[in-house]
Chain A
Amino acid sequence: MQKILVWDWPVRIGHWLMVGGFVIAWLTSESETFRLLHVWAGSAVISVAAFRLIWGVVGTRHARFSSFVRGPRAVLAYVGSLLRLQPLHHTGHNPAGGWAIVALLALGVLTGASGWATYNELGGHWLEELHEGLAAAMLAVVLVHLAGVFSGSLLHGENLVRAMLTGRKTGEPGEAISSARPLAAVALVAWLFTAGWWLTS
């Protein structure tokens, strides 16, 4: 086992864009003065999530849903191993983290879509309430995700936050991805601005 490249650039940049977008959107949620910033932040979340859904099919090995979306038995086995303080090692996402990602992407799309519909007054007060409920659900999953990341980091003795910055994790050399796919990350940023411009106009 050694340090190998696991997370490509679109995964990493997308992750931190989503973090930034979610935090800004949450902090500006009650404000009319910062309403445009809120809408931009929300656009970042939904456009990154939408990109990630496609990247989960065509992206690099550990970015693909097929590599980390596992059944309930695998999730229970992993959570059980965490509780016994002997976590099972997964080079990519662990089975519990995999579901957190699926939930966050789904909530990112739904919260963004309901927010966009609210902003364009396509529904009534109920849409506003739905948007707030979805955002609260997303915050709950974010907190579970953070708890998993920090407990996993401690138990594995591997800084998973740093791994999401550098892309490097412990694994077998054969599990490494061969390219960090920088051009796809450029496409992600271009898509972010295009979608953001369209969603906020």
Chain B
Amino acid sequence: MKTIAILLLTGASLLSHAGTPQQIGQAYAQEAGSQTPGFTASAARGKDFFLRRFDVNAKMPACTACHTDNPLAAGQHAVTGKAIRPLAVSANGERLSDPAKVEKWFGRNCKEVLGRACSAAEKADFVAYMSEVR
């Protein structure tokens, strides 16, 4: 029971990590810059990445398998059929507001769709695209 209490508190503390799309994008761009000097995030590259077919996973060959090719539109889970709210910040203000959540879903979805972790540069570009698209 003590363990549960600790876990609940940990869960509650995770709620308070707020951020803006700019801060989240900047953190990834900074990380990418330390690997590739002179890196600047590009929404255009982010769009290419979003639309690219990786064909690693038959049910989810690309981001667009669930999120559609329009980030302003609602998506649909390719397996469960559940609705997914838009990825673009301009269509869904809750997006890119919690760095831990963003990192968690990059971790899960990159592994599943790309078959590998996304690089900091890919994340920075993706965040730039989702912040700017309207």
Contacts and interface: CB of A to CB of B under 8 A. Distances in A.
Interface string B69-92: 000000001111010000000000
Interface in B19-61: 57, 59-60
Instruction: Say what secondary structure dominates the interface of chain A.
Output: helix
A137 interface: yes
A137 B4 CA distance: 7
B77 A35 contact: yes
A85 interface: no
9 contacts: A35-B77, A35-B79, A107-B4, A121-B82, A125-B15, A129-B10, A130-B7, A133-B8, A140-B3
A112 B96 CA distance: 28
B15 A134 contact: no
Contacts, number: 55
Interface of A: 30-36, 39, 103, 107, 119, 121, 125-126, 129-130, 133-134, 136-137, 140
A137 B7 contact: yes
A33 B7 contact: no
Nearest to A39: B80
Contacts of A133: 4, 7-8, 10-11
Contacts of B8: 130, 133
Given A32-B109, A137-B4, 20 more contacts: A30-B108, A31-B112, A32-B66, A32-B77, A32-B79, A33-B57, A33-B60, A35-B80, A36-B80, A39-B80, A103-B1, A107-B4, A119-B80, A126-B11, A126-B15, A133-B8, A134-B4, A134-B7, A136-B7, A137-B7
